[in-house]
Amino acid sequence: MKWIAIITVVCTMCAWAGTVETPITVKLRKAEDAAVISGTGDTVKVCITCPSGIGGARLVRGKSPWPRQLTLQLNLKGLESLVLDNGLIRVNTSLKSPAKTPYWKMDKSEQQDGPPDGTLELSITQTDGSIEIKMPKEMLAGDPSDLNFTWIDFYRD
């Protein structure tokens, strides 16, 4: 009788979990790339594996607001270029860029002409085999529907 109660609770929890909306979906540009989302609520990590070292992705927010802390983990050896945009502002950076990163407001031409419109604090750290980017609060402000980013690993022979 005890086992029936436990099985009922587990099945009920599984059924309930199946109805919970995934807070973020990932749309990758290349079929050979893979993404895994971990964490819930205020802290979410999106881990992307990209065999070619060059790729892009679009993170799409569900009905919930963006998490307070969103971390991107790119399984790369280096990061020659990273472009982030939320439809309003765009950031071009790399692993060697300073923490205070310039940004430009986006217009229809998507060009970055002239001086930057401001700077934001961007944390990029390198570990063995991966790069972690903590999404700056300015990129999540106003709960944009999606975040786009492209990356290029260091040039390889």
**Tens digit of each residue's pLDDT (9 = 90 or more) over 86-129:** 999 999 999 988 889 999 998 755 556 678 899 999 999 998 88
pLDDT tens readout for residues 59-79: 999 898 999 999 999 999 999
Percent of the chain with pLDDT over 70: 80
Higher pLDDT, 75 or 40: 75
Domains of the chain as residue ranges with CATH:
22-108+116-152 (2.60.40)
DSSP state of 133: E
In which region does residue 110 sit, left (phi positive, over 0), alpha (psi from -120 to 50) or beta (all else)?
left
| 25-59 b/e (C-beta count within 10 Å ≥ 16 → b) | ebebeeeebebeeeeeeeebbbbbbbeebbbbbeb
Higher pLDDT, 87 or 9: 87
Residue pair 46/37 in contact by the 8 Å Cβ criterion: yes
